[in-house]
Copies of this chain bind each other. A is one copy, B any other.
Amino acid sequence: MKPTSDTPSVIQPERGDQVKRQKWWGWGADGDKPYAIHNKPKFPPFAKEVLGVDILAKELVDPRFEDLDVPESQLSDQLRDALVAAVGQENVGTDAELRVIHSYGKGVRDLVRVRRGQLGRVPDAVVYPGSTDEVQAVMSAALEANAVVIPYGGGSNIVAALEAEPGETRQVLSVNMGRMNKVLEIDETAQIALIQAGALGPDMEEQLNQQGWTLGHFPDSFVWSTVGGWIATRSSGSQSDKYGDIAEVTRGLQMVLPADEGAEPRAQVLELSPLPSYSSGPSVREMVLGSEGRLGIITQAWMQVHRLPEAREVQAYFYPNYEAGLKAAELIAHSDVQPMMLRVSDANETKFSMANGSANKSKKSHYSNLAVRKLMEAKGWDLDQICISFVGFEGSPVHVRYAKSVVNKIVRAQGGLNVGKGPGTLFDQKKYDIPYIRDFLLNIGIPADVSETATPWSRTVEMHRETVKAATKAWEETGHRGFIMCHLSHSYHAGACQYFTFAIADASDESMKTYDHVKRAVQQSFVEHGGTVSHHHGVGEEHSPWMEQDISPAGVHIQRKLFEGVDPGNNLNPGKIVHDGKPGISSNSEDA
């Protein structure tokens, strides 16, 4: 049952150059279809109304790689030889585009910088290990050379966790885990699967589905994020209310980390067996979770899996306002049933969703929308305040019926309206589209971003109200228009996560200053109203300035002591999570 350190020999690892990669300037692979703006008749007028921007005015042209000035790799012959000995020639990449792709994640700030040719400290090599042993050899070589090691999964990070520190003088290696992409073993009795850290969501889920299983982990980044990345950031997905956040799903794992001083080899392997629960001191598993590369490189993990459900259904509901939807969610979370998804959009996000409908939506759905509208008017609802909610149910058909009856009763008691399965089906189809809309807006100069937090139920209304207020005040201070919308995305016994999306109508060269001013206001509102800096995107460099306000100075002190103890040379993804006062992204960007 203990995870083994070798990949079974039957699995042929791919070469580094065969690992799927995103394009250097945006979300998704080269050649992905862009956001289908021409099939969204309601979206341009909506954007005009809320941001005052004519989003069809500008012709969209992909940026050209030739316009970039990419610094040379500073990889020494000695380190190159050691890496080649560790993983083979074909798995050590130094070409310019590869290195640029690995310079950043895919946050809006990352994309703005890379498109503007502000490349920062581009890594000197991209290394593709194929096994835990190879990761250990790579880390040993890196530590021997006093190089910096940054683990890289799907590259979808949006909190500046994948980049080297500005001005880093040591050699920088980006360790791409993409060759380690297999489901190695399924324990059908314990319902756990041993999965390599570099497996992208769809590849992993396909391997599980083929044998009748699912991980049930579907973050918005699903297509371009990996098991290891989810663990390293304490990820959460759209069905985590049922399946659990990744911290609850991860049972055992393997991580390569620096060995004790003077030991050979210089890197060692942590092996945590898959255990349902334990009382063996401060949880090492929970130290690895959320460590964002600062403690080591996660290579594989035993994850809880579930049989594909017999029945699955997403029901849609309308509420007269967001507060009613939040109250219903709270009561559902405290009821005897646990939906697999419980999502409530605020009025702005409800309008956005409606504006984002396709032209080819069936007439039936159009007519039923009209009927629903009439019903809401008859109830005296202010149509400007209505909120849509999706509740997902899974399990045996009997259980789905039972859970639905409990939820429907709660919804009715809060004045909500069940509108059936139609909108939910549509939601399921579009759930991974948001980054393409973000990139579309960015192409016309409009920065848009997301930020999420969790609070106790007693503070959800306050958090929403105050964060919208703080963001609005912030963009008004810059003299630009902005838009912010939100949904309750995850529910727990003690509270919920609210997920904010905002856009700023500043297409000037100063747009990052404007954006930054708003983003800071949002984060500051989070920590001032009982929330965390992040519910599931992580800290990186981006959120580190708020860590002392989140977990108190003593909490940061404890994390720092942990990092310093495990990584005394500061070789592992330095500068992330713990803010060390050196110039980082957040403080830099006023000048970007």
Given contact pairs A268-B553, A270-B558, A578-B281, A455 touches B566 in the complex (Cβ within 8 A) = no
Give every chain B residue within 8 A of A456 (Cβ-Cβ). Answer: 1, 187, 189-190, 192, 251, 274-276
The distance in angstroms between the C-alpha atoms of A351 and B287, with both chains bound, is 43
Chain A, 230-247, CB within 8 A of any chain B CB: 233-236, 245, 247
Contact in complex: B561, A565 (CB < 8 Å): yes
- Contact check, B555 vs A275: say whether CB atoms are below 8 A apart: no
Is B493 a contact of A280 with CB atoms below 8 Å? no
Q: Confirm or deny: A577 has a beta carbon within 8 angstroms of a beta carbon on chain B.
A: yes
Set of chain B residues within 8 Å of A271, measured between Cβ atoms = 552, 554-555
Tally A residues with Cβ within 8 Å of B. 95
Q: Chain B residues near A274 (CB, 8 Å)? A: 456, 494-495, 530
Do A284 and B334 touch (CB < 8 A)?
Answer: no
Q: How long is the Cα–Cα vector from A577 to B282 in the complex, in angstroms?
A: 9
Q: Which stretch of A37-45, A137-145, A536-544 is in the interface?
A: A536-544
Which of A220-228, A377-385, A395-403 is the interface stretch?
Answer: A395-403
A88-96, A170-178, A288-296, A469-477: which one contacts chain B? A288-296
Q: Distance (Å) between the CB of A161 and the closest chain B CB?
A: 11
State how many copies of this chain the complex holds: 2
A534 at the interface (CB under 8 A from B): yes
Note all chain B residues with C-beta closer than 8 A to A565. 558, 560-562, 564-565
- Residues of B near A538 (CB, < 8 A) are 279, 281
- Name the one of B399, B458, B459 contacting A336, with C-beta atoms under 8 angstroms: B399
In the complex, the answer to whether A532 meets B280 with C-beta atoms within 8 Å is yes
Given the known inter-chain contacts A270-B558, A282-B291, A458-B187, please indicate yes or no for A245 contacting B277, CB distance below 8 A: yes
Do the beta carbons of A282 and B562 come within 8 Å of each other? yes
Chain B hits for A553, CB < 8 A? 268
**Closest chain B CB from A268 CB (angstroms):** 5
**A578: chain B residues within 8 A (beta carbon):** 281
Contacts of A277 in B (CB 8 A): 236, 245, 247, 454, 490, 492, 497, 535-536
Residues of chain B within 8 A of A307, CB atoms compared: 334
Q: Counting CB contacts under 8 A, is A550 at the interface?
A: yes
Residue of B nearest to A577 (CB): B281
Residue A457 CB within 8 A of the other chain: yes
- Contacts A402-B402, A535-B277 given; does A558 touch B295 at CB 8 Å: yes
A434: CB under 8 A from chain B?
no
Chain B residue with the shortest CB-CB distance to A529: B1
Q: Give A189 Cβ to nearest chain B Cβ, in Å.
A: 4
B396 touches A336 (CB 8 A): yes
Contact B537 A494 (CB under 8 A): no
For the complex, give the distance between the alpha carbons of A533 and B234 in Å: 26
Contact B273 A530 (CB under 8 A): yes
In the assembled complex, A547 has its CB within 8 A of some CB on chain B: yes
Q: How far is the CB of A322 from chain B (nearest CB, A)?
A: 16
- How distant is A6 from chain B, measured CB to nearest CB, in Å? 16
A247 to B306, alpha carbons, bound, how many Å? 23
Is B530 in contact with A278, judged by CB distance below 8 angstroms? Answer: no
A281 touches B457 (CB 8 A): no
Write out the residue numbers on chain B whose beta carbons fall within 8 Å of the beta carbon of A280.
290, 532-534, 539, 543, 547, 550-551, 577
Q: Mark A146-188, 1 if CB is under 8 A from B, else 0.
A: 0000000000000000000000000000000000000000010
Contacts of A255 in B (CB 8 A): 554
Complex: A255 Cα to B552 Cα, angstroms: 11
Q: Which of B270, B334, B493 contacts A554 (CB 8 A)?
A: B270
How far is it, in angstroms, between the C-alpha of A296 and the C-alpha of B545 when the chains are bound?
A: 25
Chain B's closest residue to A234 (CB) is: B279
What's the least CB distance linking A8 to chain B, in Å? Answer: 18
Is the Cβ of B284 less than 8 Å from the Cβ of A290? no
List, in ascending order, chain B residues with CB within 8 A of A268's CB: 553-554, 557
24 A/B residue pairs, CB under 8 Å, sorted by A: A1-B455, A189-B456, A235-B279, A251-B456, A257-B554, A270-B551, A271-B555, A275-B454, A276-B490, A276-B493, A279-B532, A280-B532, A280-B577, A281-B539, A281-B578, A282-B294, A282-B295, A284-B555, A304-B493, A336-B399, A561-B561, A561-B562, A561-B566, A562-B562
Q: Knowing that A260-B557, A558-B565 are A-B contacts, what are 18 other residue pairs whose CB atoms are under 8 Å apart, sorted by A's residue number?
A: A1-B459, A189-B456, A236-B277, A245-B277, A257-B558, A268-B554, A273-B532, A274-B495, A275-B456, A276-B495, A277-B490, A277-B497, A277-B535, A280-B533, A281-B578, A287-B562, A560-B565, A562-B562
